[in-house]
Amino acid sequence: KRVLGVIRPTSEIIGDKTNSGHVGVLATNGTVASGSYPLEIAKFFPGVKVSQQACPIWVPLIENNEHNTPGASYFIGKHVNALMEQDPEIDTVLLACTHYPLIKDQIASLLPGGVAVLSQGDIVASSLTDYLGRHPEMEKRISRGAEKVFYTTDSTADFDKHASIFYGSELSSKHLSIS
């Protein structure tokens, strides 16, 4: 099976998005600890300086629909400021978590003017569109008008509640056991 990753498509283009050659990555603890973004970006753009900032509280704030509260604003500001303190020359910031586009406007409002904010979801969607255009044989495998089915290994009630925030309407998932 073919799997479209998230980090590589982003790394392939991010160097073309920065004018200063300084990129910031806002991500989860795990993503920052893995060092995946600096490693992959260096493969395509060895001259680009990558600074990362872990934002451990952002996902729980978003999943609990608390991301528009004053308390959330404090933590969002704290992490955005910490990133920019690492490298004031950053002119491109990557939101390296699927949750973060929900607070993209808040993040952008805290950054200096002219700093671009990129969502990995937009980049991956564009990469998938490009891939499908280059591989027309894949169209034979795609169902048209198919039903959307959501699977989770977690509690379906929790998944449905959290996923509805992203999806924009209620949904019903099915539990998948991977034992």
Average pLDDT of the chain, as a whole number: 90
Query: Cα 141 from chain centroid?
Result: 27
For the entire predicted model, the pTM comes to 0.83
Domains and CATH numbers, the chain: 7-124 (3.40.50.1860), 146-179 (no CATH)
pLDDT in tens, 62-84: 988 899 999 999 999 999 999 99
What CA–CA distance (Å, rounded) separates 60 from 67?
A: 9
Which strand (E) or helix (H) includes residue 125?
helix 120-134
